[in-house]
Structure 1
Amino acid sequence: MSAQRPDDPQQWPRYGQPLPPQPPRSPHRGRTAVLALAAAAAVGVGAVGLGTMGFGLGAQHAQPAAGKAGWPAPLVQPVGNSKTAATQPNAAAMDTAVQGVIPGLVNVNSELGMQGAETAGTGIVLTSDGEILTNNHVVTGATDISVTDLGNGQTYPATVVGYDRSQDVAVLKLSGASGLQTAPIGNSDSATVGEQIAGVGNAGGTGQPSVAAGRVTALGQTITASDESSGSSEQLQGLIQIAANIQPGDSGGPLIDSSGQVIGMDTAASTNYRFRMQRGGAQSGGGQGFAIPINQALSIAHDIDSGNRSATVHIGATPFLGVSVSTSDGVGAVVQQVVSGGPAAQLGLAAGDVITAADGNRIDSATALTNSMDSYKPGDRVTFKWTDPQSGAQQGQVALGTGPVG
C-alpha cells in the first residue's frame, strides 16, 4: 500500500464551502515539502541543499518536486492492525462541524532559506494571542515562517517556541496577534473505531481550507518513517488511523469528530507512500491516514510552553553544526556536505569523514547525531570525535551556531 505525507501542491476534492481564494503561491510550494521531509536527519545538524525533514509523517511526499526527479521518497511503515472500511459520514452534519472549526485554524508557510524552497502546512489556534500547534515537519528547516489566520484573514510572522521531533509536534508563536478565535478542543480518549471524522487542512498549499471526510479505522497505531537517503528514522506511537484522503498541506491540521471537536492532529497519509504491515493486519488500499491524538499533542505542547526541555523536547533556537550526513552501517554519521564557514568547517570536517561521538556519547547513525544535537543550544561547545579516511581518528571542540528550525 502506498503512503503520503500531507504537503503537496496537487488539487484534491474539497468538502464544504471554501473561504475566498488567496493569492496564488509558487507552483512548487506543496511539492517542496517532499524535499522538506526527505532529509530530516541532515537538517537537524545543519543540512545544506538537501531536504528539511527525515521521518515520514503528515507532510511527506513520495513524488519528487518538479525538476527534482532525483529526490528520494521516505518509506513509512505502519505497525499493528489496520482495519479499513466504512461508509462516508453524513455530509450535511460534517459540513456544519467543519465550518465551525475553520476560523480556529491557520495556514503555515515556511521559507527554507538553505534550500531555496518553501513549504505549506496547517496549524491549530490554541490561544487568542497566537499560540499555534502544528507538526514539527511543517516547519523543519525553516528560516522564516509566516502564518495566515483563517478567522481574520491576517498574516503574521511566527517563531518556533519549541518542538519534539520524536513526536512530530511543534508550537509556534505569532507576533502581534490578539483576539484570535481558538479551535474547539475535544478529548481524543473518546475516539472510537467507526466514528465519523474529517481532517481539515490546507491541501496543496492553496491557502483555502480543504476537508477529507471518513471514519476512524483503528486506534493506538504505530508507524515508522524512514529516509532511505540519510538513514534517519523516527517512530510515532498511539496514533489514530483513519480512512480519509489526508493530503500534502494538511499536516498540522485538526482531525475533528462529527460534533466539530478536535480529537487529533493530522500527520501522515497513505496516498503515495508504501506501507508495510509488520505484524497483524493486511495491506489495505490508499486513503488511509494517521493523526496524533490531541491529548498527546497538547501534553507535549504544555511541556514546550512551560520550557520543560527534555531528551526529546527542544526549546528555542536550533543548534547548527553545518553538515549533512548519512548513516554508515552503524559505524557513525557519514559527512556528505559541509557548510563553508560553519562550525563543522571550523573543526576541519570534510565529506567522507565519519562522526562517531559527541561529548563522549556514541554516534552510530545520522539519526543519533540529529537527536544528540537536540540536547544543545546555540553557543554550546561540543567535543566531537570522527574518523578521517586518510588520517584516522580525530577529535576537536567547537561552538555550535544557530540554524534553521529542527
Structure 2
Amino acid sequence: MSEQGLQGTEAAGTGIVLTSDGMVLTNNHVINGATSLTAVDIGNGHSYGASVIGYDRSHDLALVQLHGASGLQTLSLASGTQVSVGDAVTALGNAGGRGGQPSQAAGSVTALDQRITATDEGSGSSEQLSGLIQVDAQIEAGDSGGPLVNAQGQVIGIDTAASVGYQFQSAPTEGFAIPATQAESTAEAIAAGHASSTVHIGATAWLGVGVGTANQYSSTNGAAVVQVVPNSPADRLGLLAGDVITSVDGASVPDPNTLTALLGQHHPGDTVTLGWTDSGGQAQSARVVLGNGPAG
C-alpha cells in the first residue's frame, strides 16, 4: 500500500519478494507519488514499512526494501524461459486492492514485443513501455507488480495494469506484463546502485508542481504549471499556475516529459537554475534547492 499524502489518496499493488531480507520488485507506478509505503507479506502475514531503493520509469519498475524483514519466502524470475504466443499463463496479484490471498487471472499469451503509452496524470509525463507480453488474462488495478507465471509455475513477467492516475493510451482491453528478462536486468542495476539515464537511485528530487503540456494552456513551449504545492520549493520560488517552465540548468524543457527526466537526474538538496516564462510573458530565471519528494 502506498500512501500518496500530497493527494490525500492511497494506492494498492503487488510485489515479488526477491531476497529473504525483504527486497521487493514492483511497478514504478505502484510507488509513484508515495509519501509512505507499507507491505504485507502473504507468507508470514506480517506488515512492514518500506522505502524505495530506486526505480526506472521507462520500464515501469521499482525496487523497495521492507524494514526489519528476515526469513521471507522468495520468488525467482525465470529470465531465460522461452515465451510463445498461445502459452497458458496466470496473473497473480491484489486485484482491486482487496488484500488477502493472491487473486488469480488465467489466460494465454496473445502477442509479444508490444508497445503502449502510459501517462502519469500526476506529473503530466508519459512513457513508452515496449517489449511487453500481451495476455488475455484479466489483469486489474492492484495486480500491478505481481508475477505472471506459465503452466510450470515459472515467473515469466511482471503484471502491469492501468489504474487511477496511470492510464494506458490506445491499449486494447487485454493485460500486459514486463518480461522477466527486463525485470531482472533492471532489478540488478538498481540493487547494485547503478544509476543511468533511466535508472534513478535513492530519494526523489522535488520541485512541487503539477504540470501539463504548455500548448494546452499557453503559446509558450514548455511545461505549463497547473498546480503549485504550498510550501514546496516551487512555491517558495514564487512559481504560479499559468507560468511555463522552459529550462533546467540551461537545458531546454519543451514538455513535461523532459522536465521529469531532467529533475530525475538530481537528488534532494541539489540546486538547479530554473527558467520559466511568467503568465505575463516575461522570462524569469532563478536558482532553487530541490526538496525531498514523493517516490517515483
TM bracket, shorter-chain basis: over 0.9
Selected match of 1:182 from 74, 83, 99: 74
Does structure 1 residue 255 correspond to structure 2 residue 158? no
The alpha-carbon deviation at position 246 of structure 1 amounts to: 0.6
Does structure 1 residue 173 correspond to structure 2 residue 70? no
The alpha-carbon deviation at position 142 of structure 1 amounts to: 0.6
Give the counterpart letter for 1:349 in structure 2. L
Q: Are the equivalent residues in 2 in contact too, given 1:230–1:327 (CA < 8 A)?
A: no
The alpha-carbon deviation at position 274 of structure 1 amounts to: 7.4
Q: Which has the higher contact order (CA 8 A, sep 6+)?
A: 1
Q: Secondary structure at the match of 1:345?
A: helix
Give the counterpart letter for 2:109 in structure 1. V
Selected match of 1:376 from 242, 255, 266: 266
Q: Secondary structure at the match of 2:7?
A: coil
Instruction: Identify the residue that residue 212 of structure 1 maps to in structure 2.
Output: 105
The alpha-carbon deviation at position 187 of structure 1 amounts to: 2.8
Selected match of 2:94 from 202, 216, 229: 202
The alpha-carbon deviation at position 261 of structure 1 amounts to: 0.8
Partners in 1 of 2:117 and 2:168 — Cα distance? Answer: 11
Larger % of strand: which?
Answer: 2
Give the counterpart letter for 1:225 in structure 2. A
Does structure 1 residue 367 correspond to structure 2 residue 279? no
Does structure 1 residue 349 correspond to structure 2 residue 239? yes
Q: Are the equivalent residues in 2 in contact too, given 1:202–1:249 (CA < 8 A)?
A: yes
Q: Are the equivalent residues in 2 in contact too, given 1:231–1:327 (CA < 8 A)?
A: yes
The alpha-carbon deviation at position 228 of structure 1 amounts to: 7.3
Q: Secondary structure at the match of 2:268?
A: coil
Give the counterpart letter for 1:298 in structure 2. E
Q: Are the equivalent residues in 1 in contact too, given 2:157–2:177 (CA < 8 A)?
A: yes
Q: Are the equivalent residues in 2 in contact too, given 1:246–1:269 (CA < 8 A)?
A: no
Instruction: Identify the residue that residue 358 of structure 1 maps to in structure 2.
Output: 248
Moved >2 Å (runs of 4+): 225-232, 273-277
Per-residue Cα deviation, 1:94-124 (whole angstroms, up to 9, x for no partner): xxxxxxxxxxxxxxx1111111111110000
Gaps of 5+ in 1: 1-108, 278-283
Instruction: Identify the residue that residue 56 of structure 2 maps to in structure 1.
Output: 164
Percent identity, aligned pairs only, is 56
Note closer, same or farther for the CA distance 1:328–1:133 as it changes in structure 2 (3 Å cut).
same
Instruction: Identify the residue that residue 229 of structure 2 maps to in structure 1.
Output: 339
Q: Secondary structure at the match of 1:170?
A: strand
Note closer, same or farther for the CA distance 1:303–1:359 as it changes in structure 2 (3 Å cut).
same
Give the counterpart letter for 1:322 in structure 2. G
Give the counterpart letter for 2:251 in structure 1. N
Report the number of matched residues: 288
Give the counterpart letter for 1:314 in structure 2. H
Gaps of 5+ in 2: none
Q: Are the equivalent residues in 2 in contact too, given 1:269–1:290 (CA < 8 A)?
A: no
Q: TM-score, normalised by structure 2?
A: 0.92
Q: TM-score, normalised by structure 1?
A: 0.68
Partners in 1 of 2:291 and 2:105 — Cα distance? Answer: 41
Partners in 2 of 1:214 and 1:340 — Cα distance? Answer: 47
